[in-house]
Structure 1
Amino acid sequence: MTETTATAVRLGPSGLVLDGGEQVRLCASLFYFRIPRQAWASRLEAVRASGYDLVDVYIPWNFHEVAPGRWDFEGRRDVAAFLDLAHAAGLRVIARPGPYICSEWDGGALPAWLTLDPGLRLRQAEPRYLAHVETWFDRILPLLAEREHGVGGAVVAVQLENELDFFDCTDRAGYVGRLRDLALRHGVGVPLIACAGQGDLVGATGGVDGVAPAFNFYPDDRSAAVEPEVRRYADLTAGRDLPLLVTETNRRHATLRRLIVSGAKVVAPYLQASGYDFGWTPSVGNWGDPGGFMSHDYDFGGYLDPVGEARPEHAEARVLSAMVRTLGPALARAMPEAAPGAYTTDVTTSASPSRLLLDGGGELLGVPNLTGTPGTVTLPAPSAVPVTGAVAPPVPGDAPDVVTVPLPAETCLLVLRDLPLARYGLPGTLRLATADLVGAGPDGLVLSAREAAAVVLGTPGPGAPAREGAERPFPGAASDALTPGHTAPVELTASAGLAAPVPGSPVRTTLAAGDATWTVVVLHPDDVGDALPAPPPAAEPVPIGTATRLALAPRTRSTTRYDVPPASEELGVFRGRTHYGADIGGLTELLLQGASDIVDLTLDDDARPTLARFGASTLVPVAGAHRLEATVETWGHANFDDSRLPALRMGSLRGLGRVWSVVGREDVSALWEVAGEGTWPGDPAPLRTLAGWSSTRSGSPITYRRRLPVDGRSHHALRLDGIDGSAQVAVDGVTHVVAHEDPWITLAPGEGTELAVTVPHRPGAALRAELLRLEPLRGWDVEPQPDAALLKLATTTASGHQVTLPLDLTPGDEAWYDVEVPAGGLSLRFEGRQIRVSAYAAGELLGRVWLDDPARPRFTGGDPTRIWLPAAWNTGAVRLMVRATRGEESPLLGRVRATAVKE
């Protein structure tokens, strides 16, 4: 740590303090690896225009170590250049180098080859894993330390790990402590943080000294419990003399306002600046049934869409940013508290509203409307100072007791009360404002609102005490400047109902009270800050009805013989696909275990429906066939750790998995003893069918035991049909968890003589248990086809002939096509059914789409039907690899539609 860095950046109760400046800070996630390098500068400027002053930047390990020991920090992987551009744009960076990042990115950024080392345990204080992490940190941390704020760079914090509280780390303190020590060894001097994914701050940080907790908080935007939950975490961090850092949360500014008014000092919605996953980089995640493929289009509705166009939330960002800057240190130092009875509404609002007590006087109250219906809010009106020892001079007219203003749907008003204005060079106090204060100075007040609002200003009248710097306390409190027998000063007030402004036409008014005058301007949110150019009208898509089918083979068909099918990663296929072939003459049925992600099987010349079952065990009838061919494409590696399906486990490998020939079957559903701790049958134990014991004790765990008819020489697999949720299965005393989605247990020779199955009792339920005897299928011809091989084909010159779309294709057909496209940035959409398309340009895989196929899994994230061709990569043509799949109808490749996009 340098002296300069230590004084330039610190964490304190008021937040992330930069060069002594205290301010609540808004932070946008912006990922260089999801944007072409040519668009980095413009995307950073678009974030800066929103008023946010921070960006958080994941740095994916496997984006830079593309193969074991092969590093790439050039071109669009030049993260140093990106950080320098962020600094030039006036933005500061929270760097998040992992080692694990999640981010719905391939493997959560953990390299796919790590678990090829037997016994290596991911995200643990385990020597082999930590040795790999150290190699990564040796590369990335010096780069970050050289670019810290205070030494001429943008980095103001470094996050170690990510949401560790979701993961079963056995020694959190040892693991996070090792990461901290590596950061310090490399001279990182800015604050180190670790984020909790589900609120477990010790689970995220290990309780390690020098690592501050942060929180990723994703509420339902309409939840009435947001405020009390956030206040609880604000209290927890305040007790540690730290600020509440919300390092990920929802995008809507109505929710962000609720977080700020409840005590958050850094708020980083994920993902305000959307992007796109080029290459084989989306993950296979647990956002499905239970699994899902993350789309290449990476978009959760943030204020910038994947190609950089602004959405309406960009205006809301500019308003909230301006208000945060205007209130400055008073807001940063403010303390939250519950505000029961602070207002009434005619719509659903918070169960426990929050307000902030501003440093130096005043308060900020949050008033959310959690419905889709406009309503009103009624607030107590500012009142006169109570009289002590005398009668107040008469005041003309009766002041109203309440103020009622519109409360738009799905919003959160931030209502200011009793804000002293001397700090802005203005007289008096802002007694009430239901519009956002986005600017203040000697020339007056600037507010912003979409609807009608109210403002009340006050100044001391005759008889005010002359104490230097005295400020009147909140309404309802007696001034300590008064003494018995003296009259209280009379406050002179001026109020106005402010009409709703329209874009380009601010509402202006001048208010006066006594000798004080105030100019008040009310802007429409669209007029606050530097609005980005409005997106042009949606362009009409250009249909493309011809293509050139190339005389270019999809693969070499050069194979190597293996005894059993190796994992793709064992062959160096960390991204791409692997081809397998084996003779199956005389076999009747195969059991595939762990096959993932996209598995295309062909029996002789008959293409079968695609399998995309996340590694779940699958029976494949093969009677009468002589040859099995399989192409297995990696969509991505799991970014989370979900035990329900094999391919959703973090660190799981890809490929065809284990392939068995089924040589015997036996129903073993009967003859189970009902016994075990916590059950209630007598002795001797009854014999029942599996899960067939009947009792009134619904929901209680019941254990069923029996010996299985295994021969001691063969492999076996036990299938438990009918599991609801999961079951515990003890094999010879070793307990496994079996899920409904993959209800199989594999038994090695000699295993399974003693089995115990524990399931919750459900009256009337029963499980069917079947034991399969297995033999491994041996003798495999294998061709690896990693991403480099596919990219080479995508740039190979080849002749071809023109075809007219649409094309009727045969299941199993696979071919390369060239398609001419218009100039500029484009969204490409494909018509058809039972077709998978991979699109290439400029030496990159642009993305993949899968059209209308019963075998297609759920896609999550952004738009799975779109491929983005950035303008900088458009050479006038796109190369497509098209594969036809078997389904309910014949495969059809329809027209391509190209729509111009403004980048």
Structure 2
Amino acid sequence: MTTQTDTTVGLSPSGLVLDGAEQVHLCASLFYFRVPREAWADRLAQVAASGYTLVDVYVPWNFHETAPGRWDFAGRRDVGEFLDLARDAGLGVVARPGPYICSEWDGGALPAWLPLEDGLALRQAEPRYLRHVEAWFDQVMPLLAARQRDRGGAVVAVQVENELDFFGTADRPAYMARLHELTLGHGITVPVVACAGQGDLAGATGGVDGITPAFNFYPDDLSPYIEAEVRQYADLVAGRGEPLLVMETNRRHATLRRLLVSGAKVIAPYLQASGFDFGYTPSVGNWGDPGGFMSHDYDFGGYLDPVGVPRPEMAEARVLARVLRTLGPALARSTTASADGAFRVDVATSASPSRLVLDGGGELIGIPNLTDDAGTAAFPAWFGGPEVAVPLPAASCLLVLRDLPLDRFGLPGTLRLASADLVGAGPDGIELATAGASVVVLEAPGGRPVLVELEAPGPGAPVRARIEAGVDGVAWAVVVRHPIDVDADAPSDGGTAGGDPPVEHPPLTTLTGLDLAARTGRTTRHEVPPSSEEVGVHRGRTHYSTDLDGADELLVEGASDIVDLALDGVALPTVAGFGATFLLPVAGAGRLDATVETWGHANFDDVRLPALRLGSLRGLGRVWSVVGRSDVSALWRVTAAGGWPGEPAPLRTLGGWSSTRVGEPTTYSRGLAMDDDAGEAHHQALRLAGVAGSVQVSVDGVAHTVTEDDPWLHLAPGAGRTVAITVPHRPGADLTAELFRLEPVSGWDVEAQSDEAILDLSRADAAGETVALPLELAPGEERWFDAAVPPGGLSLGFEGAQVRVSAFAGGELLGRVWLDDPARPRFTGGDAGRLWLPAAWNDGTVRLLVRATRGAEGPVLGGVRLTATRG
């Protein structure tokens, strides 16, 4: 059983116990690195006003180690100040320093230069990597330890690692044990937790004693199976004497209620307080098909939008928080069970609803309505009275109280049923909250139940009733408030549902075109294209140039993230293929120029494309001249388990074997020519067309995975004596194979342009002249502009096509947008066309770096919309 670790913070089956108080906690994600320092106190106050008692805070390693051995904890990187402000706001903090955090952040916070170290293995119990982690923990853990709750600070728990069960760590126990040892060695005495991204408790914690498992649940909000799944985990950890900690989940409070009644003791929706990815910090990641760019607008629809404007869910947050406070220890000590058969509904609901058996008597039943239509829930008679029917609002989860003794609140009798939320109770009466009609059943000692149907309250118009028990003069005062009136004096939004409407300024009609170069032109010579990280570009961009010496076709492997190419100064369409290999016709061209911009490093580990692998490098990759190609689709020997086909193995075309054994693994093998006519071994590339999903390829006994998104496999000189391709048998499968003979393109002039170098240019003084919008540019053209803007916080919305815009203010990169381009990848996370200029960074001018790209239409920057924002 988990026990309290110090005098003020501990874990018990009732949850996270603070200062001896047992309570179910709501926790909001709030990230200091996505909010300007000037807005930290305001955001924390808003979270506190929501009724949430905790914030979880990632601490990104690469945000603080900005270059190898260079640490920065000042200014907007002053995480210590943020934690102190959280304490001042009355909030506890679950600190999450990684070393890996995911969070759709550049590289999951792992520094981009780590993979350059020979032999280093990320997220493994490997000495080289652990030495770097130790250096990071030496910086961050003392800072957290000094701010633990028992020392007067805000930190109530520390999470090590993040969702390790998604990653192929070879020795999880050794790796997690070392992280735990380092954590304790720096004086961390609050609980240490590790979260399972997909429910693998041992995969997340390594089974290390002293690390408490937490879980992430991201279900479909309309799934009928949420309760049954969550109850299984609640029972699992209860058997270990531990609480169910949900460190990430969906944001809808209807779903959070379902988790509550299923046994969760800490509920931390990700992401209630949104923000922005300032600078070169968004990631690229596996958000679907595959790959995507995370937008600078980091918003998943939580109760605070990126600039801090409350959304309607804020009122629901305050109501749920009041329910938790009102029921207090009785709720924290409750146990979860199935509520099958406890009620009937006339709309779609949970396949197995949950209830909480409250400590000291009573129960809380969750009744989801998974439709957009209002319904009714009916409770069979259970207390000697009639069947009770209660309204069931659309898209909701009622928390219905039954059989709750009222003596704990200084009131007589029993609350037999309340369909509205219990948000307060005391000697003066009972306070409920709902937006609709409700039902209350009260019973005095020795009396009979009294059922009262209450009308729907309105905003600012509560419904009040005095309910007579009919026994010894017993009566209860009941008030029912509209949800937006619960804690309406909170400073977050004055009780309104959505804050003040935005104020639109006139859009920009002119810019000032600057006489300022976009790069220095200072280059160094390299035999082959180096990765961006090799030349010190951990964020930013790298420029490459080479003579083509009569090449007709190039093969480019691993180029990422945004690749702008030009042949003899003529721009080509941008490539953003996440490192996928591509062919580039260059016949007749004498010079190749490339600018490769890092959008971000992968925050996950996805094998489908090279640049989606965790730790993958950025830059132009490897560039080869194609000196020969041949079709190798024929003469493959066919073998499979179970004696089919027989021996000797038949010779067939790749994928051409026909059998009734559909879906069974079938292996095609043959040797490939490794030498040219002169007997010289070359680098080669094998392209497999027609791959469905992925195939396993063995080259001289070494296994590889080839995917339909990148159906190429590089073969080093001498490799390919035996190539075996194993695929599920599909009659009529159309697989083809082509072998490309390669020679390296050598002699490259390279200019490294780090984020710091670009920031220096953005701060430079320059003369200029006025230009009108819309502004047409030539493909490949890149220019600096100044935009005069009104004071205050502003949302900048960009319009146009075939341009990318980087916006700078306050000495910082606000962010980047990419407008209407067929080459643009999918963006996720928020509005990809807007950036935020915080008021504290606004000196009246925004500097823009605009690059035009080639497409079907001409590049144009059409306009810039200006919307006044909070902060």
- Alignment TM-score, normalising by the size of structure 1: 0.94
> What is the CA-CA distance between 1:492 and the residue it aligns to?
2.7
> What is the CA-CA distance between 1:685 and the residue it aligns to?
1.2
> What is the CA-CA distance between 1:902 and the residue it aligns to?
2.0
Q: Secondary structure at the match of 2:740?
A: strand
Q: Give 2:654's aligned residue.
A: 690
Q: Structure 2 CA distance, aligned partners of 1:314 and 1:117?
A: 47
Contact 2:4 2:10 in 1 (8 A): no
Q: Secondary structure at the match of 1:140?
A: helix
1:403-482 counterparts in 2 under 5 A? 403-461=388-446
Q: Structure 2 CA distance, aligned partners of 1:219 and 1:853?
A: 33
Compared CA separation, residues 19 and 679, structure 1 to 2 (3 A): farther
Q: Give 2:483's aligned residue.
A: 525
- Amino acid paired to 1:866: R
Q: Give 1:202's aligned residue.
A: 202
Q: Structure 1 CA distance, aligned partners of 2:204 and 2:438?
A: 43
Q: Give 2:535's aligned residue.
A: 571
Q: Give 2:340's aligned residue.
A: 340
Match of 1:654 among 602, 618, 624: 618
- Amino acid paired to 1:141: M
> What is the CA-CA distance between 1:760 and the residue it aligns to?
0.8
> What is the CA-CA distance between 1:493 and the residue it aligns to?
2.6
> What is the CA-CA distance between 1:697 and the residue it aligns to?
1.1
Superposed CA offset, 1:226-271 (max 9, x none)? 0010000000000000000000000000000000001000000000
Q: Give 1:619's aligned residue.
A: 583
Q: Structure 2 CA distance, aligned partners of 1:242 and 1:288?
A: 34
Contact 2:4 2:12 in 1 (8 A): no
1:633-648 counterparts in 2 under 5 A? 633-648=597-612
Q: Give 1:807's aligned residue.
A: 775
Report whether the alignment pairs 1:132 with 2:132: yes
> What is the CA-CA distance between 1:223 and the residue it aligns to?
0.3
Contact 2:5 2:191 in 1 (8 A): no
Report whether the alignment pairs 1:884 with 2:852: yes
Report whether the alignment pairs 1:706 with 2:670: yes
Q: Give 2:806's aligned residue.
A: 838
Contact 2:273 2:302 in 1 (8 A): yes
Q: Structure 1 CA distance, aligned partners of 2:45 and 2:584?
A: 54
Q: Secondary structure at the match of 1:557?
A: coil
Contact 1:827 1:901 in 2 (8 A): yes
Q: Give 1:290's aligned residue.
A: 290
Q: Give 1:896's aligned residue.
A: 864
> What is the CA-CA distance between 1:585 and the residue it aligns to?
3.1
Q: Give 2:765's aligned residue.
A: 797
Q: Structure 2 CA distance, aligned partners of 1:553 and 1:282?
A: 26
Q: Give 1:478's aligned residue.
A: none
Q: Give 2:548's aligned residue.
A: 584
Larger of the two Rg values belongs to structure: 1
Runs of 4+ in 1 over 3 A off after TM superposition: 676-679
- Amino acid paired to 1:836: R
Q: Give 1:747's aligned residue.
A: 715
Q: Give 1:476's aligned residue.
A: none
Q: Structure 1 CA distance, aligned partners of 2:639 and 2:666?
A: 7
Q: Give 2:177's aligned residue.
A: 177
Q: Give 2:831's aligned residue.
A: 863
Q: Give 1:49's aligned residue.
A: 49
- Amino acid paired to 2:714: T
Q: Give 1:475's aligned residue.
A: none
Q: Tell which deviates more after alignment, 707-716 or 781-790.
A: 707-716
- Amino acid paired to 1:806: P
Q: Secondary structure at the match of 1:248?
A: strand
Q: Give 1:594's aligned residue.
A: 558
Contact 1:546 1:802 in 2 (8 A): yes
Contact 1:679 1:702 in 2 (8 A): no
Q: Structure 2 CA distance, aligned partners of 1:301 and 1:240?
A: 35
Q: Structure 2 CA distance, aligned partners of 1:337 and 1:288?
A: 35
Q: Structure 1 CA distance, aligned partners of 2:357 and 2:643?
A: 57
> What is the CA-CA distance between 1:679 and the residue it aligns to?
6.1
Q: Structure 2 CA distance, aligned partners of 1:339 and 1:878?
A: 58
> What is the CA-CA distance between 1:81 and the residue it aligns to?
0.2
Contact 2:412 2:445 in 1 (8 A): no
> What is the CA-CA distance between 1:823 and the residue it aligns to?
1.1
Q: Structure 1 CA distance, aligned partners of 2:88 and 2:423?
A: 25
> What is the CA-CA distance between 1:495 and the residue it aligns to?
2.2
- Amino acid paired to 1:359: D
Q: Secondary structure at the match of 1:745?
A: strand
Compared CA separation, residues 247 and 4, structure 1 to 2 (3 A): closer
Superposed CA offset, 1:655-685 (max 9, x none)? 0000000000000001101024456111121
Q: Structure 1 CA distance, aligned partners of 2:381 and 2:641?
A: 66
Aligned length: 857
> What is the CA-CA distance between 1:523 and the residue it aligns to?
0.5
Q: Structure 1 CA distance, aligned partners of 2:545 and 2:376?
A: 69
Q: Structure 2 CA distance, aligned partners of 1:381 and 1:800?
A: 81
Match of 1:552 among 493, 503, 516: 516
Contact 2:376 2:390 in 1 (8 A): yes
Report whether the alignment pairs 1:105 with 2:105: yes
> What is the CA-CA distance between 1:383 and the residue it aligns to?
2.2
1:70-469 counterparts in 2 under 5 A? 70-384=70-384, 399=385, 401-461=386-446
1:16-27 counterparts in 2 under 5 A? 16-27=16-27
Superposed CA offset, 1:612-644 (max 9, x none)? 000000100000100000000000000000001
Superposed CA offset, 1:806-861 (max 9, x none)? 11111000010001011111111111110000000011100111011000000011
Q: Structure 2 CA distance, aligned partners of 1:580 and 1:258?
A: 54
Q: Structure 1 CA distance, aligned partners of 2:5 and 2:698?
A: 55
- Alignment TM-score, normalising by the size of structure 2: 0.98
Q: Give 1:509's aligned residue.
A: 465
Contact 1:382 1:431 in 2 (8 A): no
Contact 2:4 2:11 in 1 (8 A): no
Contact 1:371 1:410 in 2 (8 A): yes
Q: Which runs of 5+ in 1 are unaligned?
A: 385-398, 462-490
- Amino acid paired to 1:106: D
Match of 2:696 among 708, 715, 728: 728
Contact 1:679 1:703 in 2 (8 A): no
Contact 2:684 2:717 in 1 (8 A): yes
- Amino acid paired to 2:305: D
Q: Give 1:482's aligned residue.
A: none
Q: Tell which deviates more after alignment, 194-203 or 368-377.
A: 368-377
Contact 1:689 1:766 in 2 (8 A): no
Contact 1:215 1:248 in 2 (8 A): yes
Contact 1:382 1:432 in 2 (8 A): no
Identity of aligned residues (%): 69
Contact 2:414 2:444 in 1 (8 A): yes
Q: Tell which deviates more after alignment, 669-678 or 586-595.
A: 669-678
Q: Structure 1 CA distance, aligned partners of 2:281 and 2:759?
A: 14
Q: Structure 2 CA distance, aligned partners of 1:321 and 1:551?
A: 56
Q: Give 2:502's aligned residue.
A: 538
Q: Structure 2 CA distance, aligned partners of 1:752 and 1:39?
A: 59
Q: Structure 1 CA distance, aligned partners of 2:789 and 2:198?
A: 46
Match of 1:822 among 775, 790, 797: 790
- Amino acid paired to 1:503: P
> What is the CA-CA distance between 1:19 and the residue it aligns to?
1.1
Contact 1:679 1:701 in 2 (8 A): no
Superposed CA offset, 1:19-47 (max 9, x none)? 11000000000000000000000000000
Superposed CA offset, 1:417-474 (max 9, x none)? 011111111111111100000000100000001111000111122xxxxxxxxxxxxx
> What is the CA-CA distance between 1:56 and the residue it aligns to?
0.3
Contact 1:283 1:639 in 2 (8 A): yes
> What is the CA-CA distance between 1:10 and the residue it aligns to?
0.7
Contact 1:24 1:332 in 2 (8 A): yes
